[in-house]
Amino acid sequence: MHKGQVTIKDIAKELGISPSTVSRALKDHPDISADTKKAVQELALKWNYKPDPIALSLKSRKSKIIGVIIPEIVHYFFSTVISGIEDLANDSGYHVMVCQSNENYDREVRNTQALLSCRVDGILVSVSKRTFDFKHLKTIQESGVPMVFFDRICDEIVTDRVIVDDFEGAYQAVKHLISIGCRRIAHLASHQHLIIAQNRKEGYIKALSDHNVPVDEQIIVKCDTITEANEIIPKLLNLPNPPDGFFAVNDLTAAETMKIVKSKGLNVPEDIAIVGFTNAQISNLTNPTLSSVEQHGYEIGKNAVRLLLDRIEKEEEYPVQTKIIKTELVIKGSSMRKKK
């Protein structure tokens, strides 16, 4: 049994053949005899030979590492995206390096610099809520490193992207609330510089307009965190004509809204119906369970990696691509009224 790190030279010496013959045998080269291939592969297995990743990367000029910049690892949606990214990347022989911006622009810039310093082969990016300047992301493109945006994209940079059909998801959620009798539907929105937030708001407005329900700007409010919900929801409930339905931009805000509504002695969904966006695990833990728009984060991750690997491994240039992932409204207890 050979001790220590096994190299191609060790196997060559043991079998009395050249290192180049061993290398070609391990790659199943047609010029090498079946007997030699068998002897090399059996000894490599016996000695637990593993190719040196550093040597391979120097030879191929590829690190076999993909960088990922996400806003929050703890967010259920982004954790499912990472699962999709890692599964396909690992199956394709790549490792994944995940950086978290924590919704902070400066950290996102540092993440970008760190990944470029590590000479990653490509980068997947979902921008933070506080990113208004995209110079650091343009630097990725200028350095020749392939980049794919997912979910939260930047229109200033022309590159491949994977997005959710946020407009249609919002439209179906609000259409559902209208179908069960809601006529004063508040929209708990996010930062409007984010394209996903714009699309969800537009889907909300279009659903109201298509069903002859007045759009009231007073009940379209920036409210996408638990802290903001605790400040804003009581004020909305105290309006002379309060909402009878809420469409929230994410599930955490929707769940906190439900808690506040119930604390005021109101019933969900009888008095107020609520729909969130993501279909996170919390949607099954609330009482009643929370209706929500499924985003299919795992599929977003896999599609993003597929686009990135194509850019890394294909030598010819081709037009940028946009993959749109369809949403699905999952109706649960928080909006399960008889339709009117």
Q: Where are the alpha helices (DSSP H) in 120-194?
A: 135-142, 166-179
Q: From 3.40.50.2300, 3.40.50.300, 3.30.360.10, 3.40.50.450, which CATH number describes the 166-295+329-335 domain?
A: 3.40.50.2300
Distance from C-alpha of 333 to C-alpha of 291, rounded to nearest angstrom: 7
Q: Does position 340 have pLDDT exceeding 60, yes or no? A: no
**Is the C-alpha dihedral spanning 165, 166, 169, 170 positive or negative?**
negative
Distance from C-alpha of 204 to C-alpha of 178, rounded to nearest angstrom: 11
pTM: 0.78
Q: How many residues are listed for the chain in this entry?
A: 340
Same fold, 61-164+297-325 and 166-295+329-335: yes
Task: Assign domain 61-164+297-325 to its CATH superfamily.
Answer: Response regulator (3.40.50.2300)
Interval 291-302 mean pLDDT: 97
pLDDT in tens, 4-24: 677 888 888 889 998 888 888
Spans of all domains in the chain: 8-51, 61-164+297-325, 166-295+329-335
- Strands (E) located in 262-315: 273-278, 291-294
pLDDT in tens, 58-105: 454 678 999 999 999 888 899 999 999 999 999 999 999 999 999 999
Nearest to 245 by CA among 204, 210, 279, 306: 204
Nearest to 62 by CA among 15, 35, 94: 94
Average pLDDT over all residues of the chain: 92
Q: Around Cβ 15, how many Cβ atoms within 10 Å?
A: 15
